[in-house]
Each structure stands twice: as structure tokens, then as C-alpha cells.
Amino acid sequence: MAKVYIMYIVKRLKPRFNSYVIDEIAKKVNKTILRLPPYNCELNPIELVWSMVKGYVKANNSTFKPEDVKHLLHTGLDRVKSEDWKSHIDHAKKEEENFWNLDFIFDEHLTRSYTDN
């Protein structure tokens, strides 16, 4: 019973705290913050860049000492070029387009399913 009551309270109070400071700042200058959907790393180019950096650290880490890893991290970050970013952004855009196409296909299928019955 306590869990149900707590969920009721959370549901009632949540809308009061459902905004972010950055959204309020953006709203003042007539802008909207766009967010990536959670758990969709393929839509986030930084995940691909981070994978490159981690791969560099993994391939070159022989001592496993924190200072050496830190140095490898900085070197790995320095190795990321604007061309890499462009490539990863293009990849994310293609993935987004694939998601939109799948969404359209599902909508078409569902629409046909409902209209055929």
C-alpha cells in the first residue's frame, strides 16, 4: 500500500518539476532544446567518437598506470579530427533516417491492419 501511495504522490507532484534550467533559458531567446532519445547510442555521434578514444587507449595501454592511461586518453582525444566528427554525424543522420523509415512502415502496417478489419 505504501508503494502505491508514494507513486500517487510522485505522479501528482512530478509536473511541477518537469523542466530544466536550460529549457527556461532557451525559451527566453525563443529557442527549443532538442534531446536524443534515451538508450539510442546509434543516434549520438559522441558515442562513436568515445568508442574511438577508448579503442586507442585499449590498444596502447601497456602499463595500466593511472597517469599513463590519462596521457593516452588525452592523446586519443587529440587524434579525433573534424573528419571523424563529420563521418560520425553523417552516420547518426543515416541511422535517424532509418528509424523514420521504420516508423513509417510500422504506421502503414498498423493502419492497414485496422482498416482491413
Q: What is the dihedral of CA 41, 42, 45, 49, to 10 degrees?
A: 80
Distances in whole angstroms, Cα of residue 43 to Cα of each of 19, 36, 55, 69: 23, 7, 20, 28
Whether the predicted pLDDT of 17 surpasses 80: no
pLDDT for 29-59, tens place per residue? 999 998 888 888 899 999 999 999 999 999 9
Whether the predicted pLDDT of 107 surpasses 80: yes
pTM of the model: 0.66
Q: Quick one: pLDDT at residue 36?
A: 87
Percent of the chain, pLDDT > 70?
97
Distances in whole angstroms, Cα of residue 22 to Cα of each of 28, 30, 76, 83: 10, 12, 30, 29
Q: How sure is the predictor about 106, in pLDDT bands with cuts at 50, 70 and 90?
A: confident
Whether the predicted pLDDT of 18 surpasses 80: no
What residues have CB less than 8 Å from 36, skipping those under 6 apart?
43, 44
What DSSP designation does 62 have?
S
Q: Tell which residue, 54, 16, 36, has the closest CA to residue 92.
A: 36
Q: How sure is the predictor about 94, in pLDDT bands with cuts at 50, 70 and 90?
A: very high
